[in-house]
Structure 1
């Protein structure tokens, strides 16, 4: 987490960093343009918004601006979102510009400011634990207390006001994660043509139907690993239609920040500690 002041900055991202940045503009203004999507995000003073850092995005900051930036690795955001909601993270997180001087954005801003103050005065031994606790609290406030595009998942379990055919296709995915699924199968379940379904998913989910299906299956794998419901990563991959376990491991690591075998070892260690504590009590 950093606080910075500007004399006027312009920069273009050269690579994808797999992180989401939350920008609080205290004075001046900031603009982020995406040449691929042909969109421009403008963040005025006293407002906060998110930007997913990817190749080709241009950042422009007015002279004499002041801002606070909170950077979150996307795997961390994904894990926290899924653990908190029980829903798969199948769409890029977007926090539109909102005021942080009042209302929903204020709590997140106050948390980060308090974190900045406490971390600067903490000892080197205290700092890692304190930083982890503040990260958890900030993520809770970001996901549960701010009006972002995934907020609907808390209530109805849907992600944005998508067309009925798309929602039918997603329901079919969830019911058939362990079965082979083609784009024609999804189109049949949705009641539209494969091309129309492709367009809907690109417009409302930012990915192809098969890409979203992969996200659902990765989320199911993550849940099984966390709950200790698997003894073999290869068997788990095959049961969710990942025919190449090595490819599954690469996709899982990109999504969750660690290999599935490491996640499984960690889950087992956590289980042993919990059982030992229960035996002692």
Structure 2
């Protein structure tokens, strides 16, 4: 995720001496998607990670541009600046604040001298699936989390406390037999407490989802590349086609076919930003869209850009990264 690191000359700010940790901390660990960033600690769960880092001098971090992970950061000391070098936009996560970063193209982070932070890292696809299931509506768009000025006085403090608890367990040498449970808890705390744009809280969010709906959507997510019909989905859900249609209309305000199309469009977007798509025609065909033009129009309606333009942009970005390595 963090592809290049550059030292910044001017000192942006100073901080008081850091207190000694309660137990020895191994330094120099590296997360797989942070190949050039030395971290203080990493707690690996199943699909997510808890991270802890600090800087002794100002540091610029260029992200890899894959746009496939979200990192929710708590700043304990110092300041983290988020810059979009393409749009010339900047924002700050202040001392004591919290906010999210996506490893998108043209994203640059500036860490001040003496900056200390904790973070929860989650794949964008995992976050989107969980948030969509819990909210009662499918999540197409990338999440936009509002910056929290004082996380200790905010509901997101529950996520911070769980992260601290997991790092304490790691220092004490405890294993992670409950890794899946802790991971679910962290995602749920992020969903419940951090303001974001993915879920609007409609009527379905306040009602428990029936098991037929959960089974149907699990079947859909597992068969994005297969040729399936509403009858197949109803069979996997354990109900009649008419009942399935009624459940989706009530809880998703859409038909099963529309939801299947939405999931496939989101999968296409993930393939494009990962640099794994070459042409619109091949991408549409692999995801069972018989009409590439209709696929392209639906993609543009959701993501605001033609898929052909996004494909060229991400292939060019991938080629540039390969050239610099």
TM-score bucket (shorter structure): 0.5 to 0.7
Structure 2 equivalent of residue 113 of structure 1: 164
Q: TM-score, normalised by structure 2?
A: 0.49
Change in CA separation of 1:228 and 1:148 when aligned onto 2, cut-off 3 Å: closer
Greater shift in the superposed pair: 92-101 or 41-50: 92-101
Size of the aligned set, in residue pairs, is: 187
1:226 aligns with 2:225: no
Structure 1 equivalent of residue 16 of structure 2: none
> 1: CA distance between counterparts of 2:198 and 2:267?
25
Residue 25 of structure 1 aligns to a residue in which SS? strand
Change in CA separation of 1:241 and 1:155 when aligned onto 2, cut-off 3 Å: closer
> 1: CA distance between counterparts of 2:87 and 2:113?
26
Structure 2 equivalent of residue 173 of structure 1: none
Match of 2:84 among 26, 34, 42: 34
> Structure 2, unaligned stretches of length 5 or more?
1-49, 206-212, 231-255, 275-325
Structure 2 equivalent of residue 9 of structure 1: 59
Q: TM-score, normalised by structure 1?
A: 0.56
- Going by fraction, where is helix more abundant, 1 or 2? 1
> Structure 1, unaligned stretches of length 5 or more?
159-220, 258-281
Structure 2 equivalent of residue 266 of structure 1: none
Change in CA separation of 1:224 and 1:10 when aligned onto 2, cut-off 3 Å: same
1:154 aligns with 2:204: no
Change in CA separation of 1:157 and 1:37 when aligned onto 2, cut-off 3 Å: farther
Residue 82 of structure 1 aligns to a residue in which SS? helix
Match of 1:143 among 188, 191, 197: 191
Structure 2 equivalent of residue 204 of structure 1: none
**TM superposition shift of 1:132:** 2.2
> Over residues 220-247 of structure 1, what are the superposed CA-to-partner deviations in whole Å (9 max), with x where a residue is unaligned?
x99735158999921249x9489xxxx8
RMSD of aligned alpha carbons: 3.8
Structure 2 equivalent of residue 70 of structure 1: 120
Residue 140 of structure 1 aligns to a residue in which SS? helix
> 2: CA distance between counterparts of 1:143 and 1:101?
17
> 1: CA distance between counterparts of 2:53 and 2:222?
46
